[in-house]
Structure 1
């Protein structure tokens, strides 16, 4: 599918999200090939964009007292101070951070000594280890069985089939797992819980194929990432309207 068509499809999908006052907090990777405003067809002022290595939102248990990071501060600024109602987490193919995370399965490579020498390894070991653990479940169970993820609502989980067609590399599968794992991290912040539980705040997951320009939306109805194209956009748009309006 051409990039132009991708833009049309993603704009139609989020037409009801980006309505009269289009606002969202968009978390994505710092990869230079990721240009969120382009593939979401949004304009200046439409979204708060937060970028880091691996589109990660650290879990709240890492922060005690006044110790914090940019990501939770951005969540509060966007969703509390500015009353933004939608959080979008977007991963992508050929993610260098996810490629490194996969290598961190090796205990020597991820040792404390090596983490002290590499801020990137330390960042991934501290804040993406749950994604790696979840991916290990996928390796044990296979892609034809669903993984269970914690949702943004307390005690509620959702099922996800990760690459049942076996079209992606192991690192790309890890990237998709990591993207979905961030939903639970969003829900870990007390200042968001009331809004999440009252359905005043909604969390979405996207995944972008760097090489084809195809964009995938995680459909809870279909329990998988579904490519946004002319055949799927109407049903995905209906799902967004039904569950997230």
Structure 2
């Protein structure tokens, strides 16, 4: 999955291989792009709906299931953000960049084209971008422009890729004509 722990979790838990792998790959110096991916028909939203937030946050459930533990530790930020988004889907969602002062907005599905499950997946991609950008080992390269973060989402039904555009504040379908401007 594409759940990346936020840097504020250092010291509170043992971080998984996601962050360690990312740090190692980015420290080699030749990596120019980090891409967080998501896809349509993602089943995480369905699992959360079936279980309910109170059951997911239950300590016994987390201790008995590695999957629920992982989902709870790293997915609650997306769940909380999506619940706020559901209250007013016409408003942008604000995310934090590499510093608390660097904020960016995102409109998720302004044309009401996608299912709730797909919208949740898109919000998750954006939340994970925020989490990735929180890591100190990336900040110097992000600030200098030597490293860029991207959010990609695949409509697996239509086999169409989308890339999040901070300029357009939404996911934009990738075509041969716009790929260079999106990157």
The alignment's TM-score, normalised by the length of structure 2, stands at 0.89
Deviation at residue 154 of structure 1 after TM alignment = 4.7
Contact kept in structure 2, 1:92 and 1:207, CA below 8 Å: yes
Aligned CA-pair RMSD: 2.1
Structure-1 residue corresponding to 2:110: 164
Q: Which residue of 1 aligns with 2:119?
A: 173
Q: C-alpha displacement at 1:90, in angstroms?
A: 0.6
Match of 1:115, SS state, is: helix
Cα distance in structure 2, aligned partners of 1:184 and 1:202: 13
Scaled by the length of structure 1, the TM-score of the pair is 0.68
Contact 1:150/1:183, CA 8 A, preserved across alignment: no
Contact map agreement 1:90 1:206 (CA 8 A) in 2? yes
Does 2:167 match 1:238?
Answer: no
Is contact 1:101–1:124 with CA below 8 Å preserved after alignment? no
User: Is the Cα contact below 8 Å between 1:152 and 1:183 reproduced in 2?
Assistant: no
In structure 2, do the counterparts of structure 1 residues 181 and 65 end up closer, same or farther at CA, with 3 Å as the change threshold?
closer
- Asked if 1:81 corresponds to 2:28, the answer is yes
Q: Which has the larger radius of gyration?
A: 1
Structure 1 residue 135: deviation in Å?
A: 0.5
| 1:60 counterpart = 2:7 | yes
Relative contact order (alpha carbons < 8 A, sep ≥ 6): 1 or 2 greater? 2
Question: Which of 85, 94, 97 is the matching residue for 2:44?
Answer: 97
Q: Does 1:221 align with 2:164?
A: no
Equivalent position to 2:65, from 99, 118, 142? 118
CA distance in 1: counterparts of 2:75 and 2:29, whole angstroms: 28
